[in-house]
Amino acid sequence: MSAIVSPAPTGVEIIGELQKKVSASRLNLFLQCRLKFFFRYVAGLKKPKTAALHVGGTVHSVLKSWNKARWKNQPLTLKDLHDEYSKAWADAGDEPVQWEPGEEDTEKGTGWRLVETYIRESNITANSKPEAVEVPVETDLHHHGLPTLIGVLDLVQAGKIIDYKTSGQTPNAEKVAHTTEVQTSIYAVLYRDATGKRENGIELHHLVKLKNPKLVITALEPMSEQQQTRLFHLMEAYVDGLERRDFIPSPGLQCMSCEFFNECRLWS
Ligand code: SF4
C-alpha cells in the first residue's frame, strides 16, 4: 500500500500563512530586503548554517538550560553547563556547518568562553527565580486590522524582558536601541497581552566575541506609545507588501553577508 503524501503548499498558500502570523524575524527580514524574505520564507531555500549562527545558537541553548534550572530551583554547576554546552554543540540539527580545517575547535572554545563570561558577569545569581523562560506567546491583533504576532521570550526576570544576543563588536547603546526596536516592541506587545501588565523595562544582553569576551547590557525603557504606533505601521507595510507580492531586492551593505547573493544576481 502506498503512503499518502500531502502536496507541498503552493506559493499562494505560503504567502497566505505569512500574512496571518508575523514574528520579529519575519518582519525584520521583510524590512531589510523583500527579495531575501522571499528566498527564505516563500521559496524556502536552505543554506548551510554559518559558524557565527552555530556559536550563537549553542550559547543561547546553554543559557536557556541555565535559566530553566533556576526556574525549577535546581541550579546548574559550571560542570553541568559545560556538559550541556558539549551536547548542544554536537547537535547541529538538519543544517550542519561546513567548517574550514581547525575552525570548529576555535569557535567551540570561543562559545564556551562567552557562556563563562555571562555566568560571571550577569549579576543574575543561580538561586534567583525568573518569571518566564523561553515562553512562546502570541497576540491576535485583528481588531487593529493586523496579523497575529508570535514570538518567544528568552527570559523575564523582575518584570524585565531580557533578550540574548551574540555579536562580534561592542554595541553602541543608542544605535542598538534603534536597530532592535522592531523586536523589542514586539516582545513588549506580547508580554503586555500575556500578563496584562506593562514591562518594567527591556534589557539586551550582548555577549561580545572579543579576545577577552565581555557582556554588555543595554537597558531600555518600557515600550512607548510612539514605538507601538511605529510597529503597527511597519506591520501594515508588511501585510500590504505581501498582498502586492512586492519582493524586490534592496541592494546595500547588507548584501556582503547575504546567503542568497548568487540567486539575487539572477533576479530580473
Ligand atoms: S544580495 Fe542584497 S539585495 Fe539581494 S537578496 Fe541579498 S540582501 Fe537582498
Taking each helix axis from N to C end, the angle separating 51-71 and 103-121, rounded to the nearest 10 degrees, works out to: 30
Q: Is the CB of 235 under 6 A from ligand 1?
A: no
Q: Rounded CA gap, 83 and 91, in Å?
A: 13
Q: Sort strands 160-167 and 148-157 into parallel, antiparallel or unpaired.
A: antiparallel
Whether residue 196 contacts residue 240, with contact meaning beta carbons closer than 8 Å, is answered with no
Q: 254 alpha carbon to ligand 1 midpoint, in Å?
A: 7
Q: Determine phi and psi for 112, rounding to 5 degrees.
A: -65, -40
Q: Measuring from atom 2 of ligand 1, which residue has the nearest CA? A: 255
Q: Where are the domains of the chain?
A: 13-253
Q: What share of the chain is helix, strand, coil (3-state, %, to 5)?
A: 50, 15, 35
Quick check: pTM over 0.75? yes
- Of 3.90.320.10, 3.10.310.10, 3.10.180.10, 3.40.630.10, the CATH number of 13-253 is 3.90.320.10
Q: What is the pLDDT along the chain (268 residues), one digit of tens a residue?
A: 455 666 777 888 999 999 999 999 999 999 999 999 999 999 999 988 889 999 999 999 999 999 999 999 998 999 999 999 999 999 866 677 888 888 999 999 999 999 999 999 998 887 889 999 999 999 999 999 999 999 999 999 999 999 999 999 999 999 999 999 999 999 999 999 999 999 999 999 999 999 899 999 999 999 999 999 999 999 999 999 999 999 999 999 999 999 999 999 999 8
Whether residue 204 contacts residue 176, with contact meaning beta carbons closer than 8 Å, is answered with yes
Residue type, position 84, single letter: E
Q: 250 alpha carbon to ligand 1 midpoint, in Å?
A: 6
